Amino acid sequence: MKTLITIAKLCFVVVLASAAGGIFAAEPPGEDVAGKRLTVEASIDHASGDPYIFAERRTGEFTVPPGYRAVNFKYAWGDPTSGRESNRLSAKNLEAVRGWVPQDIGAPGTSLGPGTYRFGVGGMPGAMGTLSMTLVKFDDPRVGTTATKRTIDVEIWSHEYPEWKSKATYILEENGVVTGTIDELIDYPLLTKSEYWTIEAARQTGKFNGTATGNVITGTWSLVTHPHTMRWHGNGNNPAYSCVDQSRHTMQTRVVLYADGTLSETGRGTGTTERQWSNSAPGDSAGKHESWPFDFAVPGENIKQPLTGTWKDRNASTAPPSPEK
């Protein structure tokens, strides 16, 4: 149980820490298609010919070129037989022929990387759906820095756990120096959801130092997860006990701010966890103080894709420009 909780907490800290970066493809040759709007259709058709086949599924295939990604999805589906309609895109509507489809593809800020995909819908014969999207470059140059100081607020999450969001603030100076701060509560009950364990929400604070080049921020976060209590309520012959946890870690990060108000992040770091067990803890742990090192990467074993999120320039009078108005 101790090992499971430790792994779960490490995963959660990695998600919430302000990691940064992006995975980039080579600049595509030929025509620049940034800003191009793609539309694809799919349907459930009435079958013809074979009397044993009631309906046929017609899919639409599309390609996101190398060096680009697809954003700003608009989805519409209707089934005249049932009268049902929907504008909520899900991963069930997309199949990756070559590439990867995020499970939260319908959420704000998600995107499709380079690859070939098939769009499909369900329903009775006559059902039809359309999906449109905008192509933007991975390193979208329209975001570049200005000659004035900027304050950027970001919110990040992972594709695996989109409900767990973290906020941070970056201050970009005129000379390209960037500092940042985090001060928030980690709501561990969202992670554990166990009738036997209760983990108190923990305060996490951090400071960032780095640089900005265009729309790319790189640097290091130093983060502290402050002391918080974990309680085992008891089960059968296992009596109740508790422990107090805290951790510190540093993280080398890279964050890319895209012109449509979304971002992409990766990171790598190391840290130390400390735990003080209560006197009623089982076995050799009773009253013991432990500490151990850990390391992690995003993407990595637990978080398998770059983090995603949104950003906003606090000093700007309008939101970042969107490829689609």
**The pLDDT of residue 123 is above 80:** yes
**The pLDDT of residue 282 is above 70:** yes
Residue 25 CB coordination number (10 Å): 15
pTM of the model: 0.61
CA atoms within 13 A on the CB side of 59: 13
**The pLDDT of residue 40 is above 50:** yes
The owner of tokens 């209590």 is: 229
Instruction: List the structure tokens of 267.
Output: 């990171």
Measured in whole angstroms, how far is the alpha carbon of residue 232 from the centre of its chain?
Answer: 31
Q: pLDDT of 244-262, one tens digit each?
A: 999 999 999 999 888 778 8
Q: What is the pLDDT of residue 193?
A: 66
Q: Which residue has the higher pLDDT, 263 or 190?
A: 263
**The pLDDT of residue 49 is above 70:** no
Kind and range of the H or E run holding 154 = strand 150-157
Q: What is the pLDDT of residue 205?
A: 95
Q: What is the pLDDT of residue 272?
A: 95
Q: pLDDT of 84-95, one tens digit each?
A: 999 999 999 999
Cα separation, 65 vs 27, whole angstroms: 10
Q: pLDDT of 159-206, one tens digit each?
A: 888 888 899 999 988 778 899 999 999 887 666 667 778 888 899 999
Contact between 143 and 257 (Cβ < 8 Å): yes
Q: What is the pLDDT of residue 23?
A: 25
Kind and range of the H or E run holding 181 = strand 177-186
Contact between 271 and 228 (Cβ < 8 Å): no
Q: What is the pLDDT of residue 22?
A: 27
Q: What is the pLDDT of residue 195?
A: 75
**The pLDDT of residue 52 is above 70:** no
Cα separation, 43 vs 110, whole angstroms: 24
| Helical segments of the chain, H only | 2-16, 189-192
Averaged pLDDT for residues 130-148:
68
**The pLDDT of residue 274 is above 60:** yes
| For the ranges 52-56, 103-107, 219-223, the one whose mean pLDDT is highest | 219-223
